Structure 1
Amino acid sequence: MTSSIDAHVRLDTHPTHPSAVTAVLTGTQAHIAHLGLEAANWTVIADNTLVLARIDHEESQ
């Protein structure tokens, strides 16, 4: 039997930048998801919170 990892990722749109996505990590092994997201060029903005922004045009106001 394969054991599961206790890491949860909640994705949401950034509250002030519609072209960005935030990821909030929880669980006793959240560091595993954290390492994966950082490797995929997500930026750490707070403990267990990362953001991925796509900036290739002006955002609508």
Structure 2
Amino acid sequence: MSESTSMAVPNEKGSCCNCGASPTVDIINRTTGNLEMSLDTCGACTWGEADCLDPENW
């Protein structure tokens, strides 16, 4: 199985549309560094786990 070419990074400029927490989640391409998707949700709301509020746990 190959490694994913995408990775989640924190976006400190956004706040979660669901709970108001920051940062929100951006998805970038590991190879090009280009933004693939900018989510309107924080890590906890994206992955459904409170520990994911901290980007170190993404």
Name which structure has the greater RCO, CA cutoff 8 Å, separation 6+: 1
TM-score, length-scaled by structure 2: 0.36
Max Rg structure: 1
Q: Which has the higher helix share?
A: 2
